A and B are shown apart, each in its own frame.
Chain A
Amino acid sequence: MRDMNSRRQNNSLDERIGKLLLEREVEDFIAREAAMLDEWRLDEWLGLFTDDGRYVVPSTDVPGGDPKETLGIINDDMARLRGRVERLKSRHAHREFPWSRTRRFITNVRIKEMTEEEIQVNASFLVYRIRSGQVDPLIGGYIYTLKRMDGALKIAVRTAVLDLEALRPHGTLSIIL
């Protein structure tokens, strides 16, 4: 009787430690990703995605819209995402040449769901874009679908949902949000 109780406690402690470790790992993953983007290490950032990864920013009036049938702002498969990075590295992406400064504040990281294959993570973001005398805050939430591949976390889907009612006065979403 005593053995069973202590084993149950041990299991539960293991579970709680496992959960904490995963939370830390996910938070660390997102913080490292934010640093890559703020430092414009875009090729490295691309390496965080699975081969069939996706990056989506829905429109501000239908924030939950399915990009297959709703006009959004960004809906990149990996081919387009690589094209986007290639473009941003060029001196002909005029909105981002020279690159803007960005600073990302990501918080309230929560693991929403976990299966054998996937972890769904929600987080809040406040991303400042600074350029040409303007400071434009982008406010919203991330919804990540992460997968573990060869031990490392990878991004299968990364959706950035804006709380803004419009990209005003920002005008564009020329950085990676």
Chain B
Amino acid sequence: MNRHEVIREDRSGGIFRVHRSVFSSAEIAALEQANIFQRCWLYLGHDSEIPNVGDYRRRTVAGQPLFWVRGSDGQVRAFYNSCTHWGANVCRVDQGNAEVFQCFYHAWTFNNRGDLVSVPDETGYGEGFCKEAMGLVSPPRVDNYRGLYFVSFNPEVEDLVSYLAEAKDYIDLILDQSEEGWRVVPGTQKYSVRANWKMFSLNSLDNYHVRPLHSTFFKYTESLGAGDPPVSPPNGFPGTQGRALSLRNGHGVDVFQSLTRARPIAHWHPILGEDSKEEIRSRRVRLVEKFGAERAYLMCNTNRLMLVYPNFALHDIAGVSLRYFEPTGPDYMEVTVQTLAPVDESAGLLNRRLENFLSFLGPGGFAHPDDIEAMESAQLGFRASGPEWIDASRGMRREGTALDEIHVRAFWRQWHANVLGRAKAERDHD
């Protein structure tokens, strides 16, 4: 299939289809590496993971070994994890604190600002050898928005804020929920999916599957009893349920009413425990005072499934989760999940927040294993040569609800532009 023709869109007929080969083609996967993963901004980590001078974390981003560290000057830097001498990894554990990184191969030593500070038998090098030029190498661009760090291997990439486009507003809506700020809770869920990485991007936006696929989860939470009654949405809240939205540049969000579901910020349900009722309700009161009823409603009584294109899902649902995933081949991806909590949250509510998170989310939750089963099942289904297309037409010909695929199509349009070597899709919206 010619890559120009892998997406078929008929706006007047309300049809949007994607050719299945995009999930298994090695040629497409190579184009994605070159045009997406080496050109976009990719999520690296959260500020709170390296709070002190010398703190570091090791990461793989787009298949490249990196680590990022808070230097002795307080500045956060990311480095390729490769000695400038013969290439071995200089950072050999996932996290820690160090003044220097000494390569174990020949003992070249770098400080935590990346400078090469010591070379054994330095006199063996000639005059042309310049220690100052042999420091650790940084990826071309590293920047953060409100403590969320991103990296890009593309020196020409647009500024992070401009790249985030309208996703920025939704990041604000999530991060503003804690007046004192957020921290990454220790503990990382690392798993894989035997499916194409784009399945995870799509699953992260899609709300249409939630009720049919995750019925066992709802059965469980409903068995626990009722929480605080749903809060009526303010005037102007889109639709009765919410809305699927394109946030430009391939980013998207699904905003939907939480109704009776638990939100640590801030809608109480029995799953969060009697002992947390007051803390949850009082945070809601503070948010109404600070931001007004309308914004507080969005913060406390709606959920968000957000995708920052291409591979960073920031979900504000059973808790705030940071999920990033990347392909190691057309039919396999590695997934990493962390969760944020307000820095000032009580130990009791943190415990409940984590229990609530685990009930739905993660590789051992009551819902997410079935997402993974569905992605893997689709990947197997794509081996069938009869059906050629997947359909993403839902909601093209109406105002739009939270169950529509507006954000999914926005993802595909941006993806298609990138695969064709263009920076931006011609259209962000239906």
Chain A positions near chain B (C-beta within 8 angstroms): 57-62, 65, 67-75, 77, 79-80, 83-84, 86-87, 90, 92-96, 132, 134, 165-174
Q: How far apart sit A60 and B363, CA to CA, in the bound complex (Å)? A: 12
Mostly, the A contact residues are loop
What are 17 A-B interface contacts by the 8 Å CB criterion? A59-B187, A59-B190, A61-B94, A62-B187, A62-B188, A68-B351, A69-B185, A69-B350, A73-B358, A86-B216, A86-B219, A87-B220, A92-B216, A93-B370, A94-B374, A171-B191, A172-B364
Q: Is there an interface contact between A167 and B192, defined as CB atoms closer than 8 Å? A: yes
Q: Is there an interface contact between A173 and B363, defined as CB atoms closer than 8 Å? A: yes
Which of these, B347, B357, B364, B380, contacts A69 with CB under 8 Å? B347
Q: Is B223 interfacial (CB-CB < 8 Å)?
A: yes
Instruction: Evaluate whether A74 and B358 lie within 8 angstroms (CB atoms) in the complex, with A87-B220, A95-B369, A171-B372 already known.
Output: yes
Interface centre among B191, B193, B354 (most CB of A within 10 A): B191
Q: How far apart sit A92 and B219, CA to CA, in the bound complex (Å)? A: 11
Interface centre among A65, A132, A166, A170 (most CB of B within 10 A): A166
Q: Is there an interface contact between A73 and B363, defined as CB atoms closer than 8 Å? A: yes
Contacts of B351 in A (CB 8 A): 67-69
Q: Is there an interface contact between B187 and A84, defined as CB atoms closer than 8 Å? A: no
Instruction: Evaluate whether A171 and B192 lie within 8 angstroms (CB atoms) in the complex, with A84-B366, A86-B220 already known.
Output: yes
Q: Is there an interface contact between A71 and B339, defined as CB atoms closer than 8 Å? A: yes
Extra A-B contacts (15), CB below 8 Å, given A70-B186, A87-B366, A166-B192: A58-B187, A67-B354, A69-B185, A71-B185, A71-B339, A71-B358, A75-B358, A90-B219, A93-B216, A168-B191, A171-B191, A171-B369, A172-B191, A174-B363, A174-B369
Minimum CB–CB distance from B276 to chain A (whole Å) comes to 13
Q: Which residues, 156 to 206 on B, are CB-close (under 8 Å) to A?
A: 185-194
Q: Which residues, 194 to 249 on B, are CB-close (under 8 Å) to A?
A: 194, 213, 215-217, 219-220, 223-224
Q: Is B362 interfacial (CB-CB < 8 Å)?
A: yes
Q: Is there an interface contact between A70 and B191, defined as CB atoms closer than 8 Å? A: no
Q: Which residue of B lies closest to A91 (CB)?
A: B216
Q: Is there an interface contact between A169 and B364, defined as CB atoms closer than 8 Å? A: no
Q: Chain B 335-370 against A: per-residue CB contact (8 Å), 1 yes, 0 no? A: 000110000000100110011011100111010111
Q: Is there an interface contact between B216 and A168, defined as CB atoms closer than 8 Å? A: no
